[in-house]
Each structure stands twice: as structure tokens, then as C-alpha cells.
Structure 1
Amino acid sequence: MALSKRTVAIFSLGGTIAMTTDPATGGVVPALSAHELLAAVPALQDLDVELRVHDFRRLPGASLSFDDLSALSDAIADAFRADCDGAVVTQGTDTIEETAYLLDLLHAGEQPIVVTGAMRNPTQPGADGPANIHAAVIAAAATELRGAGTVVVLGDEIHAARSVRKSHSTSPAAFTSPATGPLGRLYEGRVHPRGPLAARTAFPGPLTSPTPRVGMYTATLGDDGTLLATMAEACDGLVVAAFGVGHVPQNFVATLEQTAARIPVVLTSRIGNGPVLEATYSFPGSEKDLLARGLIRGGHLDPYKARLLLHLLLAQGRKADEIVAGFRAMAD
């Protein structure tokens, strides 16, 4: 079925999808403009969609900064105020899951933001960028995704920003949602949702405070806690990627309790699939013990997304009780 006339803003940030060979090094680097990316997808001309193209950045995904993404969020908001029905962001896959989640937290509107990229650069056989761009434009123009917030589209699958993970370093099927599965799929030129869209929480607003330092520390076997104490001293906020359902070595406990009295400390699981519990285990260093000592429960948020949420709330100047409430709203 043909799409009714829609308008989609395209923002290119660089990444593998926009890379070509550097003659000096023989490796690939971000070089293609947004218009050059779209020129490689002639099927876009068959869609009844007006494209407004923005050559926003030309960076590897790993080099994107909070300043870049804050500016991108503002530019997307401007596009929506100018009556765009959706937006597509093309970027490197290294940080797609983080970019998508940060944009999702900042976006309270109904228009979908679709983030896509490529696992194979344009010089390789079977480059997936053109197909992913085509699918992303269809998704951004689709009325079925109004209210979905930010989604990630690769390989004709649609993933919610909150649940998506890059789960393989090279596979074209790298992006998955381990806890939930995809929101839907694209085929025959249309979006096919799996079911009703879940409710979402956003935290729109400017990032007004000085850029906070939010650390992420992963619990590992045999760690004596010395490095944790050193990191904590340098942080404005801290995310702990704990074992299992929220457990750390006993020699972490004193440091975490002292740190939580000074800055927000969020307890997550390093597994990245499944929740931090609240009241099952009670030994020193267990989830019940740590929450009683002032740590904030991260719920189902993986450590990377919890770090982004904490960074955003601190950068917006939120107080301690607002940060706790923010994580409570996102926990399950």
C-alpha cells in the first residue's frame, strides 16, 4: 500500500554507513555526505515521502559526544516544529544503542525518530546501508510508529531504544532486543508492529549543568575494591554493573555506601538482560543490602543505558529525589 504524502528529516552523522576507502591508509573512514548516502538508494524515489536532508556530522560512532547528541536532539525538535512527520538518523553502529536511548529520553513528542546504520561499509559486497536507509525512511513515515519514541531499524527489524543491544561485533544481524524481541518488522514496504506500543517516559529539557562525569564500574571476580574507590572519587555519579541480580564483593560495600552518601550510585546488572532485584538476597553486598545503603535500583536498565539516564538527569540539574524518582519510573 502506498504511503500518503509524509515528510521525513534525515540527519547523517557518519559511521560505517558513510565510509569510503582512504587512499593514504587503505582503511575506510567517514566521507560520504547525507546526499551521497541517499543517492545510493534510488528506491527512495518510489516513496511518496518528502526528504529534508541535513549533513550533520562526519564522525565514527565512537567519537560522538554528548554535545553532538544534544545538538542533534535540538535539530530534530526543530524539524518536528517545522512539520516533519518523522526523523531518520544515520550513524556508526558502535554507539547506536546509546544514541537512540539518549534521543528517546529527550523526545516527548509523537513523531518517531529512527536510528539506523550499517554493519558492512559501502566498499564491501552486500553492503547493508542502502536497504537500512530505505527501511528507516518507511518506518519514520509510518503512522504505526507514532508514539514509539526512538527506535532502531536494521535488517528490517524495529527495536525500541530502551531494549536494543548490539550483540555481535561483525554480524549483519547484530542488533537484538534480548529481553523483549523486536517491536515489529518491515516487509512489502510497510511497518508491521508485533502489538500495541508500550508506554514510555521522557525527560525533555536543556542540559544546563556543567557536563557531569558519570562512571561505570563493572564487578569482576577477585576485585579488591581499590580501583572502585579511586574511580568513585572522580565521579559526579556512578553506575555499578553488578553480578547477577545486583550483587558485588563484600569489600565493595563500605566504598559504595560512602559514595552513595555523596553522589547518586545506580545498581545495575552486568548481564544486560533481566532485572536487578529488590528483596530476595540480604548478605553483605547483595541487592537488598546495597539498596538499604542508599544505592538506586536500575531495574531492567542495562549499565550503559543507566549511565545515560543518570548523565541526563544530572546535566539537567535534577535533585537527588528527582533522580531517584526518574529511575523508579524507568525501572521496570
Structure 2
Amino acid sequence: MTRIAMFSLGGTIAMTQQSGSGGVQPALSASDLLAAVPGLAELGVTIDIHDFRRIPGASLTYADLLELASSIAKQFAGGVDGIVVTQGTDTIEETAYILDLVHEGDAPVVVTGAMRSASAAGADGPANILAALRTAASATARGLGVLVAFADELHAARYVRKTHSTSITAFTSPRGPIGHVVENEVRIPLRPVRRPAIAGADPSRRVRTSVVAATVDNDGELLRAAGELSDGLVVAAFGAGHVPAGWVSVLENISARKPVVLASRTGSGSVLSSTYGFSGSESDLLGRGLISAGHLDPYKARTLLHVLMLAGADRVAIDPAMRLVGDRA
């Protein structure tokens, strides 16, 4: 019988209305979540449950998630066939990508959650858990790394984004979902190429990374402050990788000392390399030592940068790592 380990981290999926609190809060255990899922007996799987955390997704840390990754690796070493992680939707896109960056092997890890609390009318958590369990137990999902299961859609961790604040179909990917759960069957017609896993990420290493967005008529003072306070920086640039001309000298100064990654704030499409030539253009910035994020959005780029730095990568090593692990290869 297929054996699945389910880790519960809290989030909306585990929230119920608390008397006198004025709002929902994490309260349900992994056992409580499973008790609300119909059709478990028909799955034909054994489920090991782990109450890993019981907090909102917004409060998760890299230390939490790397500890989770270590626990997942131990479960696979113990013979588990697949993993399901339930958590708050605020940070699913980052959690899934962090786990994907360090996950080794072909066994599937599936992250899910809910947009409606367990006590809300039409709660979507049970259906999402069922789809995640089906996917984690499916041979079809092997070799794809970490997936996000939501509203019967399956998304690759490195592409998925939360693009709506309340909709039950909040999770999308620029390239669309790679698969679906249809008539109780996992169907994955699109199979992205796996990237190498990052080894040696140490959560005890002190690393601070930031994302600074380019905006109209921005004088760069906040950018300068972020550059001083951060060990690594991601610039969420206009369009294909452009910033105000007044930022250029500031970025050149920071990139001489620390890794600065150039991403597009649009959330879809790649940073260019040689199309534009004005001051503050992508070619100008890359020529001054900034590192291209390729197709990665600013939040995924910051996640990759942070994990690389936790693994001890210096500024020189980060550019080729971004090329290999990110979407530039």
C-alpha cells in the first residue's frame, strides 16, 4: 500500500472562528483536517500525520522551512512514497520553491492550502487535500520535484504565484498549470525539466536578503538603505530589467560588494540582456555587475538567492548558480 506523510503547518486551511477573537485563527490539527476529507478510504493509501507547525503562513521562516525539508528527507529515507504539506496560502509560492530547491530524488512533494477557512461556507480545504493526496500517491507525479495542488490544478513550484487575494482559484502560473486532477485521476501532460538540488543550506547562517521595487520618480534612498542593511538584494525592475537613471550608481556600488539580482516586476517573461542600451537599461546594469534572474519573478529570485547564500555561495558563485538552478540555462 502506498504510504503518504502529511505535514500540517497551519494557515487558513486549519483556521476556525474563535469565540471573542473577531476572526479565524489556526486551530485544527492534521488529524482534524483529514477527518473532513471525503473519499479517503477509496484512495488506498496509508497516511502518516505530522503536526509540524500551527501558525499563519505569513509567520513562517527559512528556519521553519529548512527544518521541514529535513523532516521530509527523513520520511523518504524511511520508505514514504510521497509527501503532502498543508499551509497558509500567503507564502505557498515561496514555501513550495524553497522545498523544490533542496528536494532530491523523484518522489513527489505536494503543497496545498485553502482560501476559505474550515468554518466557512464552501470551504475548499478538503477538496484541495484530496487532490494533493492523489497527486502525492501517483506515479505520474514522480520526477517533477515539488508541486502545488489547488482547485484541481497542478502547478510547478518554480512558476506558481498567488495572483488573487480571495479567489479559490488564486494560484496561477505564467505558463499555465502542468496538470490537473480529473475524474480522480492525476494527469500531467507538461513535465518541466528538473534543476539540480542545492545542498548544504544552513538555517543557522545569518543571511538577510531584500526585494526593492523600481517605481516612478524614486530617488533611490530606500534602495541605498536596503543595500547597506542586506547581504543580498533583488531589484524588481520595470519591464525587461530597467530602473531609473538615478539608481545606476547606487546599484553599481552595492553590486561591487554584494550580490544584486535583476528581476522583472511584471511577474512574467524574462529579463533581457542586450536589447536596450540607455542608462539604467538591462545591458547597462548587467555590465555593472548585476546578476540576471532570467524568468524568475522577484520573490522566487529572492528565495533562490537566499537559499544559495545559506548554502555558503558567495557573489562569484551566485551568477552561475542562478543560470543553472534558475531559468537562464
The equivalent of 2:113 in structure 1 is: 117
* Unpaired runs of at least 5, structure 1: none
In structure 2, runs of 5+ residues without a counterpart are none
Q: 2:181 aligns with which of 181, 186, 194?
A: 186
Corresponding residue for residue 65 of structure 2: 69
Verify: 1:12 aligned to 2:8, yes or no.
yes
Match for 1:278: what amino acid? S
Counterpart pick for 1:284 among 273, 279, 282: 279
CA distance in 2, matches of 1:298, 1:197: 18
Residue 159 of structure 2 is aligned to residue 150 of structure 1: no
**Is 1:53 the counterpart of 2:52 in the alignment?**
no
Which of 234, 237, 246 is residue 242 of structure 1 equivalent to?
A: 237
Quick one: which of 313, 322, 325 aligns to 1:327? 322
Match of 2:157 in 1: 161
TM-score (norm 2): 0.97
Q: Does 1:198 align with 2:221?
A: no
TM value normalised by structure 1: 0.96
CA deviations on 1:106-160 (whole Å, 9 max, x unpaired) are 1021111100000111111110000000000000011111111001001000000
Q: Following the alignment from structure 1 to structure 2, what is the Cα–Cα distance between the partners of residues 305 and 82?
A: 30
1:138 and 1:231 mapped to 2: Cα distance? 43
Matches within 5 A, 1:62-141: 62-141=58-137
Q: 1-side partners of 2:247 and 2:133: how far apart?
A: 47
CA contact (8 A) 2:30 2:49 kept: yes
Identity %: 55
2:265 alignment partner AA: R
Residue pair 1:168, 1:175 contacting (<8 A) in 2 also:
yes
Q: Residue 210 of structure 1: CA displacement?
A: 2.1
CA RMSD of aligned residues (A): 1.1
Q: Which runs of 4+ in 1 moved over 4 A?
A: none
- Contact preservation (8 Å) 2:96, 2:147: yes
In structure 2, give the amino acid aligned to 1:143.
Answer: A
Q: CA deviation at 1:43?
A: 1.2
Deviations 1:53-105 (A, max 9, x none): 10100000001111110110000000000111110000000000000000000
- C-alpha displacement at 1:195, in angstroms? 3.0
Distance 2:26 2:185 in 1: 30
Q: Give, as a single letter, the amino acid of the residue that structure 2 aligns with 1:136.
A: A
Measure the CA separation in 1 of the matches of 2:42 and 2:20. 38
In structure 2, distance between residues paired with 1:209 and 1:47: 39
CA distance in 2, matches of 1:153, 1:129: 11
What is the SS of the residue equivalent to 2:39? helix
Cα 1:12–1:132 change in 2 (3 A) is same
* Alpha-carbon separation, structure 2, partners of 1:166 and 1:42: 26
Contact 1:213/1:237 (<8 A) preserved: yes
Letter in 1 for 2:218: D
